Structure 1
């Protein structure tokens, strides 16, 4: 080897980072509260406790049709942790009264607010740790990640997708559920400090205030159009089969309180729509109908196909869904070149503003609202009219104060006129 030949140096040693210690319960795992007497006892402790209240709820998504809570976890200083069975105790309004005006601490509040309201729990003030993480532009905002990065403890999530409608609930599941509220107060305090340091605490307060009126996502137009693989259904009659199978499946799933995919998977809906079987033997031979669940309602699926085959063309769905807003941006250049130019300018401004304020762009303004503004800007285009439009579409005042003037400039620039 010559002196000029480079030699390969050994890779530098990277010190092993010791794993974060697992989060442990501070008190013994409590018994599940399933009687009025046990609930009354805990309610009294909450009323005598102090400070904010950590809450969580476990549903049975993937197993049940409903999104009801099958376990409610509560923790407050002076009261400890409670695991409450809302199936045995469907009215928790006494607990709601005991909490009163105290701040709730939730992680991903929109996932739990609706099912908690169903059992009589409604916040007067709240702090959402997931939303706080987004405002802080943290790379990952899952509860386990936040607990580890901010509090130095690892939080296992291996039971997050189990069937919480199971009774009795296994002890490892209950310990998992109790740990989900164990450090919510500490996590809230750590994130509060970061929000204050970043000058974003008032932004968070406005976001949290808006969550108090959250009653669930808006109903989707033609939800059956979200069937996986629907693009493979060629023709309006095939789409009609997809639509009516989806509706029949949804009805059965609701009646049986089971997740729709267990009644009939999307793959089976598409295979039936593509082949249009008209007899039981043919349908029974379909690959996606070999499992017991889909075959249980074979006669129903056959009836759906038969009914759709007899529909007039006027009663079949259109290939194009009804538009609830602007069309997909990929079509703008052809349909509305000026709007396409405006969208490009607006997106550029949004990216710059998000970088400047250390925010994910979608948390500065939702992509849907950005598209609405570019497609149909107000008249005249100036900061006040842009601000009014944004507020009317649900933007927060802190967002409007940042984006209204730069967006007005982008919308009325000569290049995008």
Structure 2
């Protein structure tokens, strides 16, 4: 009998302007929303640039684009820039798309929709399986997508990421309508689409893993200098900093306090692909940290960071009582709405309004405070009165302030 197996399809990556224009024309002639996905090389490269873009539209099919050689994606933006884009975990992909001037006019985020609907699993593979009954292999999700040429098995994985996404969107949209969540989902999608980039951290070097073991301002200055040296080299080489020298090795060098370049080279815990090849760079950083007069503080700038909730009972018992009462109320409402509490209202917003509530404590004032912190109208409608009521109830259980014996 002749074989019944069909040969595996050959996946072609579009890597030039002519191919982009032809694909864009086909996509423009398609119908309905477009599914878009991005593959980066996180953990391998310094940048978060896109190394593969996948696009699917009914009536047109799917296309795989290689961003670095193409460069200008204006034809694709013109082709799909007036229809809804469907993405999974859009907040991860939108920054990379914007680097290429690819801007959606509106989005449908299948991961966020699944959260709002109360799905227990919200990864792409799980959502596809739950909605369509199709199992996706996720073997290459952590691959180095800057690899060239890309293996066919990786391209198949990438194509499947968008091939079913429109069907998933339709199922989830129907579920949102059934649960009367279409409008609130639209608010959440728009909030993701228009969210501004996070401001640059004032002291990003303080995120070094293990920095809490470093004592003394001079040693912190050395840690800072090593971090800056690694960051500059990683950016120049477009390599993930941790692949050059991991955090634990930088901290080991600080704690060992080597007396010479040779001692640094002999330090067994100072490892990584660039730990020896760039030894002059690291030793120069250590010397710079030791010589600087600009010593960092033992603790980072507080900014508007609140104390950890575990410390509230001692530092602000009334706020602690408010937070505990309001948390119960918000969690109860989230359970009623079949969604995670953090999607109804993020813990940070609740903590901030509990720490410094409006003076009159009314639902309207609490709603205004939440709006100022970035809460969406639907979140305010669902939580402000419940928070106000919880704050009033907390007065009944809040510990009395100690009497002044003076």
Q: Please, what TM-score do these two structures have when normalized by structure 1?
A: 0.90
Match of 1:342 in 2: 322
Per mean C-alpha deviation after superposition, the further-off stretch among 120-129 and 241-250 is 241-250
Match of 1:19 in 2: none
| Aligned partner of 1:205 among 168, 186, 196 | 186
Shift of residue 235, structure 1, vs aligned partner: 2.3
Match of 1:143 in 2: 124
Matched residue SS, 2:367: helix
Match of 1:370 in 2: 350
What do you get for the CA RMSD once the two structures are aligned? 1.8
**Deviations 1:15-48 (Å, cap 9, x if unpaired)?**
xxxxxxxxxx999444111121111111111111
Cα distance in 1, alignment partners of residues 357 and 83 from structure 2: 42
Cα distance in 2, alignment partners of residues 27 and 378 from structure 1: 63
Shift of residue 88, structure 1, vs aligned partner: 1.0
Match of 2:3 in 1: none
Shift of residue 295, structure 1, vs aligned partner: 1.7
CA contact (8 A) 1:108 1:129 kept: yes
CA contact (8 A) 1:110 1:211 kept: yes
Matched residue SS, 2:101: coil
> Matches of residues 103-142 of structure 1 in structure 2 within 5 Å?
103-142=84-123
CA contact (8 A) 2:253 2:270 kept: no
CA contact (8 A) 2:81 2:103 kept: no
Give yes or no for the alignment of 1:391 onto 2:375.
Answer: no
Match of 1:39 in 2: 20
CA contact (8 A) 2:250 2:270 kept: no
CA contact (8 A) 1:272 1:283 kept: yes
> Matches of residues 46-195 of structure 1 in structure 2 within 5 Å?
46-195=27-176
Contiguous gaps of at least 5 residues in structure 2: 1-5, 399-406
| Aligned partner of 2:230 among 246, 249, 258 | 249
Shift of residue 160, structure 1, vs aligned partner: 0.9
Q: Please, what TM-score do these two structures have when normalized by structure 2?
A: 0.92
Give yes or no for the alignment of 1:283 onto 2:259.
Answer: no
Match of 2:296 in 1: 316
Matched residue SS, 1:295: coil
Matched residue SS, 1:415: coil
Q: Residues 82 and 182 from structure 1, CA distance in 2 versus in 1: closer, same or farther, beyond 3 angstroms? A: same
Contiguous gaps of at least 5 residues in structure 1: 1-24
Number of residues of Structure 1 aligned to a counterpart in Structure 2: 392
Cα distance in 1, alignment partners of residues 8 and 272 from structure 2: 45
Shift of residue 321, structure 1, vs aligned partner: 4.3
Shift of residue 350, structure 1, vs aligned partner: 1.5
Cα distance in 2, alignment partners of residues 102 and 77 from structure 1: 13
Q: Residues 215 and 175 from structure 1, CA distance in 2 versus in 1: closer, same or farther, beyond 3 angstroms? A: farther
Shift of residue 100, structure 1, vs aligned partner: 2.9
Per mean C-alpha deviation after superposition, the further-off stretch among 128-137 and 93-102 is 93-102
Cα distance in 1, alignment partners of residues 126 and 257 from structure 2: 48
Give yes or no for the alignment of 1:265 onto 2:246.
Answer: yes
Match of 2:404 in 1: none
Match of 1:222 in 2: 203
CA contact (8 A) 1:240 1:317 kept: no
CA contact (8 A) 2:40 2:145 kept: yes
**Deviations 1:81-103 (Å, cap 9, x if unpaired)?**
10011111111121111113211
Matched residue SS, 2:62: strand
Match of 1:408 in 2: 388
CA contact (8 A) 2:220 2:296 kept: yes
CA contact (8 A) 1:129 1:187 kept: yes
Cα distance in 2, alignment partners of residues 397 and 416 from structure 1: 30
Match of 1:355 in 2: 335
Shift of residue 205, structure 1, vs aligned partner: 0.7
Cα distance in 2, alignment partners of residues 376 and 282 from structure 1: 52
